[in-house]
Amino acid sequence: MSTNNENNALEPTAIPLSNAPITKQVRVWDILVRVTHWTVAAGIMANLLFTEDGSDLHQYVGYTVVALVVIRLLWGLVGTRYARFTDFFPTPVRIKNHLADLRQRRNDEQHLGHNPLAAIMVLALWAVIIGLGISGYLMESEILGNKDLLEEIHELLANSLYLLIPLHIISAIVMSYWQRQNLIKSMITGNKQVKDQRSTVE
């Protein structure tokens, strides 16, 4: 009798499962989003740091980058869920809710793709790139007579990238820490780790 009691005492007792959320991988960024993102980044860095202003290579890289941004803009209309403007366009309501989440130190679970502040940055970068392409084309084609003004506009837009790009990178690093999610890696793999709402412990 005592032996049975001893054996029962040695048996593992039921231990409550952890309440830690179970995560799953979700494909957020499709292949077109990832390819255009990194190719545009490489092209911008090439023209800012390595190619000679006004050279054929500089123009070729610049027009290629602009073409990729145009493709990405079109994909924002007809592409996959998280690539579409309807998912991430920074409306006043979305910005307000996102800022409220940040103030409360909560993750913005409504925006698995770009959050509203990131969307503002992305749209600003795209606008600058398209502006560079237009001003560069007008300079070389000499359609407009005031070439000096076009050169100043082109240079101003190019210099703005020295501010926008580091801000974009720093923001990605900060939000990676905030969300405990490697956002740079997710733009390579296309995947993000999210809570599995269906996997709850009774």
**Does residue 17 have a pLDDT over 90?**
no
Specify the amino acid at residue 173: I
Work out the end-to-end distance of the chain between its first and last CA atoms, rounded to an integer number of angstroms.
36
Predicted pLDDT at 193: 84
Q: Which two tokens stand for residue 51?
A: 């190619």
pLDDT > 80? residue 9:
no
The set of residues, in sequence order, having a beta carbon less than 8 Å from that of 182 and lying 6+ positions away, is 176
pLDDT, position 12: 46
**Cα dihedral across residues 124, 130, 132, 135: positive or negative:** negative
Q: Are 44 and 164 in contact (CB under 8 A)?
A: no
Q: Which of 91, 96, 80 is nearest to 120 (CA)?
A: 91
Please determine, for residue 191, whether its predicted confidence score (pLDDT) is greater than 90: yes
- Residue 180: band (very low, low, confident or very high) from pLDDT cuts 50, 70, 90: confident
If we measure between CA atoms, which residue out of 193, 186, 195, 194 comes closest to residue 33? 186
Q: If you average pLDDT over residues 179-192, what whole number do you get?
A: 92
Q: How many residues does the chain have?
A: 202
Indicate if the pLDDT at residue 178 is higher than 90. Answer: no
Per-residue pLDDT band for 60 (boundaries 50, 70, 90) equals very high
Say whether pLDDT at 11 is over 80: no
- Pairing relationship of beta strands 191-195 and 23-27 according to DSSP bridges: antiparallel
Q: Region 116-141: what's the mean pLDDT? A: 95
- Per-residue pLDDT, averaged over 19-48, amounts to 91
Q: Which residues contact 79 (CB under 8 A, 6 or more apart)?
A: 30, 32, 33
Beta strands in the chain (DSSP E): 23-27, 191-195
- Residue that has been written with the tokens 């990178």 in this structure: 169
**Is it the case that residue 171 has pLDDT exceeding 80?**
yes
